[in-house]
Structure formats: C-alpha cells, structure tokens
Amino acid sequence: MEKALALADISQKVRGYFSVRPDGLSDQEMRMHVMGRVGYPSAFLVHLGFVFIFYALGHMPMFLFNLASVVIWGWAVWIVCVQNRFSVVAYILAVLIEIPLHGVVATLYFGVEPAFFFYIVNSVLMAVIMPFAPRPARVAIAALFVVALALSGAWTLQNGPLTPMGPRFDTLFFAFNSVCLPFLMATMIGLFEWAATTAEKGLMESRFRVEMANQSLENVSRQLAKYISPQLYQAILRGDQEVRVESKRKKLTVFFSDIVGFTETTDQMQSEELTDLLNEYLTEMSRIAQEHGANLYKFIGDAIVLYFGDPDTLGVKQDALQAVRMAIAMQRRMYELRQRWLDQGLERPFEMRIGINTGYCTVGNFGSEDRMDYTIIGGEVNLAARLESAAETGGILLAHETWSLVRDTVLAEPVGEISVKGFAKPVRTYRVAGLYDGLAEKGQIIHHSDDAISLTINRALLKDGRRQEIVALLRSALKDLGAGKG
C-alpha cells in the first residue's frame, strides 16, 4: 500500500513537472517549454559525456568547445527545468546557436559522419518550430543552418578533417553516432510525446477548471448586476468607476415617480396579487428606463428614483430631454397597463405621477470601505421629490431649469410656484402636455419652428373669443410680411 502511494506521489510530481504552466504562455510556447524540459537535460548529459571523452583523448579544442556547451546547456536547464521559466534567450543560445555550431565544428575536425545529418535535421527542425519568430524568419534561419553545415561538409570532403583520429576512433565515433544518437533521438521523441500528452491533459484540465470558474463568476456577476444600475455595472467593469468612498458634483436630471393612492389601493388586495401587480409595474417602468439610458437609483416601495448624467452623459440638454421622453413613454405605457388591469377586474388600477428636476447634485459612493451605496444627494434631489408630490395624477411636472432645456421639443404649460425647503424662492413649475411632433401628428397643436419662426397653437385652449384674437394676430403678421416690414 505504501509503495502504491509512493508511486502515485511520484507520478503526480512527474505530471506536475510537465503540466505546470508558466504565466502568459500560449499553447505553442507551452509545447516548446515541455520539449525543453525533456531535451535540455538530455543535451546537458550528452555534452558532459563529450567533455570526459575528449579530455581522455587529449583533444583540447573539442574538450573546450564541449565544456562551453555544458555551461550553456546547464544554464538552460536551470532556467527552464529548475525555475520553470520559458526563456527565448535560452532557446536561441542552446538550440539555435550551440547545436548548428557544434555540427559545423565536429564536421570540420572529424569529417562527415552520421552526426552531420543529425545536426542538419535537428537544426532545421528547431528553427522551423520555434514559436516566437514569424514564418519568413524561421525559413531563413533554417536555410542558413543548411548552408553552413553543407559548406563545412563540402570543405571537409575536399580538404579532409582538421584532426583525423585514426580508423579506431572513426569506427567508435561512427558507432556512437549511428547507435547512440538515433537511440537518444528516439528516446527523446518518445519522452517528449509522453510529456506533451501529459501537459496537454493538464492544460485541458486547467482550462476546464478555468471555464467552470468563469461560468460561476459570470453567474454571480449577473446576479449581482441586478442590484445596481446597468450603467454603473458597466462603468465598474470598464474600470471607469472606482469602488471606493468618494463623491463629486455633477449636473444631473433627477426623476421621481410613485403610485397615487398606493396605500388605499393595496389595502383592498391580497398580498400575492399586490406582489404580482407591483412587480409587473416596476418591470415595465424599468424596461423603459433602460431603453432611454436612465441610471436606476433605487425602488422605494412603489416609488422609482432615476437620474441622467452619471456615470454616462449625453450632455445636460440631451439628458434632460431623455428624462422627459422617458416620462412620457412611462405614462403612455401606464395607460395601457391600466386598461388591461381594468379588464382583469381590478377596481382601482395604479395611476402614476412624475416629477423631474435638473441641477447640481453630489453623486458617488457613500458609506464605509466595507459597505457602500452609489447614491445622489442634495437640494435638487429633494426638489424632484417635491415636484412628484405636487404633480397631477397621470401628470409630469417639471422644474423651471428642466423646462428651459427641453422647451424647443416639449410642450409644457406653466402651472404655478411651489415652496421647497432649502430654496430661498418659490420654484416655477410646468406641466408636460407632450412632444411637439407627437401632438402635431394627432392634430392637437399647430407647431412650426426653425431659425426664423417659432409658432405653437394649442387647439385645446382655443375658445371662441381667443380663436378670433389669434386669427387677427396671424393676419396682421402676414400683412406686415407682405409689406416688407421687419
């Protein structure tokens, strides 16, 4: 049992040796890394053997050359095998320089032996498969290796080796190159295939774990995203919004809405029915808010608080216009829902009122480092809440600044002034009648606006006496235009 556990432990360590992936490696680089962890120790041992052989033979040039090779391969083993780092420099020095140079030197000293072809094949293979160079560069390097080795072989065939070692050495060297090198290559290829398979399996397992972790994070992220506004969620993901206690002053358009007579209506309903109805209402309003780019601040019971201008903004004017367009779309949808709820037998279906204000607010994260809330505060927020309370049932009430920003597109009638705590003077308010384009299409108003003229006639306000006054005013204007006045 203990032997089995020991073997299993050794197997696990071996698998880890080949499957632990350094940070930032591509799949191709990982395969090269695994090949290095197999091949570099083998090359180190082979050159170490050559050091002893040539020292015993007294061949100092080859002894020194192989000694330098041992240093290079030893350093490569330390970087790749011990420290488990993918090193381009180690690959270039050991594989792209030492191996071809070794082939040239061995050929010049000892002649064209089987090792000559080993160096050609190995050098070309190593140049072609390296992952960190473009294809033209790899082909050029491989061609350079072939030319260098071919020239050294041709020179040796013509002039003879620099240091002929005699028939006995040639026979031994031939036997070593013929038997040991193919055996070594076959062993390395088999070991590499096993190691690559082990590494690939480890990579697949790692990818599976990463994918499962990513899926889990995505699920959690989607769940958490429902508790904050989509704009804030995206800003955090993009890195535009820091999750820390801080705030700033920005000009926002703030929207408040609630259901008129909510308490009285809900007292006559069962809790299940109320829950379904309220969730349907909030879902429909939230959908419209998202379509218009509103930042959903919070639900307060039946009330909805939204704002435009943070973290993303279209500009103060467009933010205000989007808020009013959204409010009109909400009231229109609310009318459709009321008709459906009446058909379902609800005696007093929900009705909504809306208040909108534009002004400078303090916006940001408030709370502690452990628990915070992204919120807006300030007098302008309170004013929007007061406007909502003062609005008519089914109506939209604007503060003066919001009206001044949207009056070219929105028809709004002056209502009166309201006093709000924190404001020295009463606030002028305006009741939204609709968008000029939409009201004109329905025939409720006559409207035209360009650089030279702005004309709006509200047909609903035309009474007999007032109608005659407007006709006379228009005729007078036409007469002045015809006479060339103005």
CA–CA gap between residue 383 and residue 147 (Å, rounded): 85
For the chain, domain boundaries: 14-214, 246-442, 448-486
CA–CA gap between residue 46 and residue 396 (Å, rounded): 88
* CA dihedral angle for residue 135, residue 136, residue 140, residue 143, rounded to 10 degrees: 60
- Residue among 367, 455, 375, 369 at smallest CA distance from 408: 455
Contacts of 81 (CB under 8 A, 6+ apart): 36, 37, 40, 41
Contacts of 23 (CB under 8 A, 6+ apart): none
Written as six digits, the tokens of 280 are 């349907």
- Residue among 105, 41, 107 at smallest CA distance from 70: 41
Are 357 and 383 in contact, with CB atoms under 8 Å apart?
yes
CATH among 3.40.50.261, 3.40.50.720, 3.30.70.1230, 3.30.200.20 for 246-442: 3.30.70.1230
What distance lies between CA 475 and its chain's CA centroid?
Answer: 63
Are 93 and 76 in contact, with CB atoms under 8 Å apart?
yes
What distances in angstroms separate CA 363 from CA 149, 245, 297, 375, 388, one per listed residue?
A: 73, 11, 11, 6, 21
pTM, 2 dp: 0.52
Q: What is the pLDDT of residues 179-233, one digit of tens each?
A: 555 555 555 555 555 555 655 666 676 677 777 777 776 776 666 555 566 666 6
Handedness of CA 413, 418, 420, 425 (dihedral sign): positive
CA–CA gap between residue 109 and residue 100 (Å, rounded): 14
Per-residue pLDDT 10s for the chain (486 aa) are 555 545 545 555 545 554 566 677 666 677 677 777 777 887 888 888 888 888 888 888 889 988 998 999 899 888 887 888 877 788 778 777 787 787 788 878 877 664 555 666 666 565 555 656 677 777 777 777 778 777 887 888 788 888 777 666 666 666 665 555 555 555 555 555 555 565 566 667 667 777 777 777 677 666 655 556 666 666 666 665 665 666 788 899 999 998 887 777 777 777 777 788 888 888 888 889 888 888 876 778 788 888 998 878 888 999 999 999 999 999 989 988 888 888 887 777 888 999 999 999 888 777 777 776 777 888 888 888 888 888 888 899 999 999 999 888 888 888 888 887 777 788 899 998 888 776 666 656 666 666 556 666 666 666 666 666 666 676 766 776 666 655
Backbone angles phi, psi at 369, to 5 degrees: -65, -25
**Neighbouring-strand partners of residue 433:** none
Are 321 and 409 in contact, with CB atoms under 8 Å apart?
yes
Residues 127, 194, 73: CA angle, nearest 5 degrees: 45
